Structure 1
Amino acid sequence: MKINNKKVVIVGAGAVGSTYAHNLVVDDLADEIAIINTNKSKASANSLDLLHALPYLNAAPKNIYAADYSDVSDADIVVVSANAPSATFGKNPGRLQLLENNVEMIRDITRKTMDAGFDGIFLVASNPVDVLAQVVAEVSGLPKHRVIGTGTLLETSRMRQIVAEKLQINPKSIHGYVLAEHGKSSFAAWSNVTVGAIPLTTWLKKYPNPEFPTFDKIDQEIREVGLDIFMQKGNTSYGIAASLARLTRAIFRNESVILPVSAYLTGEYGQSDLYTGSPAIIDRTGVRAVLELELSQEEQEKFKASTVLLKENFDSIKEKCTL
């Protein structure tokens, strides 16, 4: 795929889409930013607001505008961040319960995008992201490596931040990944987490820290903190928008960087035919390769349990994934 103008189309001008658009401008990642929203006047207002920021930013001039699906034909990346109005958390909060409300909207967005002649890369942030990334892949008919969910990018960032705070180390020096579902069955692969090049388990033995929580406690915090943020401010936006921006940079700059995304498995971890969170090499083609970590027995069991849950949820809406 040849990238010339670095054009991004954002479907959904809510908190996530708007914050992501701002990141694209501030980080100078895209030349053309087209915003599609059911309320087109909001998309237009966001576009003008972003344009008015440009004179004071260290960024090149950009074409930013409210768009229609006719504008996606020459896009390099289409980012799906929209959620149906009815897709809200109920008494039993969980991303998977959003599936029934969001699936038809995501199918419709995908169909309209493909009907317009799109031939680039989809980035999916709408929840439940693993299942909806698979919906986009099935409905679009694009090669699976060109449909990428944000997966556990955000959980991994949270893990690095939490560990860094406890150790008083820069989070950029914490390396490792949270795997599996973007949701209640996610877990950090602690057997692979390092501080610099030192395994975290070795670090904690060498530098005892009585205040360091158990790994189970950190996993729980990672899974619950997003809902805590949501309940207090009505959305989570900065972290997920930064995750989308990181993916965009990796694609446009052909970085071949390893990021934990929702990618399509074809035998990795003994699993196939589903999207879930795993480290993958990201370059201008999308997912160049999915990487398989060596997991402990306990981690393998957690991964398998998560995939069972995701497969059940995809199977429940599979008939809606035909063009």
Structure 2
Amino acid sequence: MSTEAIDTEGYSAEDKDALHILPLAIIPLHTPGMRRTRLVKNARLDTVVELFKDNRAGSGQIDIRALGDYFDTSAPSFEEDRTIVEVLSQEPSFDVYSLRLALRSHNIKVDEAQHLRLSPQTQEKLTEYMRVFTRPLIQKVFGSDTKDVSSATEIFEMFRGVDRDVALKRIRSISDALGIEVDQIPGFLEDYGDIFLSLSYFKRTLEEIRPTFERFKAWTDEGIRNSHLRHNKDAMRYTEIVDAQMEEAIAFTMLRFKAFDEASAEFWKDLSEYRYAHLRRLVTSNHRTIGGILCALSVKMIRWQEDFPGESGSPNKRADWLLAEMVPGLDKIRHIQRTAPTVTPI
């Protein structure tokens, strides 16, 4: 495995929080040694099994179909474990939210509270993003002049400093509108918070990708568009293809976020059980789409930064790399966009 800090479960917080890495330690596999590996997305956006990774030897990767060459095929659990790995390898993203949906759909039991949650470190970084989604809830219960909070736990804590009768009256109005009992409100808060924690995570990921992509475009401009390669039709065509597809994927994702924000605003404007069901369905049905696109964009930008850490390279080297590492896999991004669920207003 990598040289980064590993916890007692055999994987790092960075692994668990990544979109392009799946530490198989979180999956209930039983074939000896298999849980010590990772599934990773390579530069072509194909899923491979990473047997090891360190600073000197690099990354030891094998094709999913080669599992039988490295693990004991006579083990009673091998065929079942291989099937699980093959199923998970088809996911376009390994973010914890998409994984939950994938594992549930295939009846694979995992302790979600332990393994399929963002690390506390990452959740802390998402505080500001979460306030956008928790603010309407706080205002409904505690009034418009209350402070911003970003988690269900903080909401519960606020009860200690306000008029409980007023707050409970407002909570009853929310429970009536949602068609649930008052004692089900904590479950609603947890569900609501979890849904929008996933959106906050995706938004933060996109905001990290965008400036990196702008630097990448400047790098291609300098090395291809503004060099002798501007007369090379193939180099120019590949550059245009990469830039256009990446920009389209970013714009597509931003439009989905806009739809989520609008649906959330409509929900809090006129609370109802139907509106919450629509909002929840809208977000969860797009987890796989958003996760897949952001995973692909992340992989491409990470690979560029790894291969050109100083953002240098001759024009010919940049053009060759662009064709070899950036163009392959773009069809997978287009496929995710084409097969994305339709966004319908309430």
TM range, normalised to the smaller chain?
A: under 0.3
| Structure with the larger helix share | 2
Question: Which structure has the highest strand share of the two?
Answer: 1
User: TM-score, normalized by length of structure 1?
Assistant: 0.28
Larger radius of gyration: 2
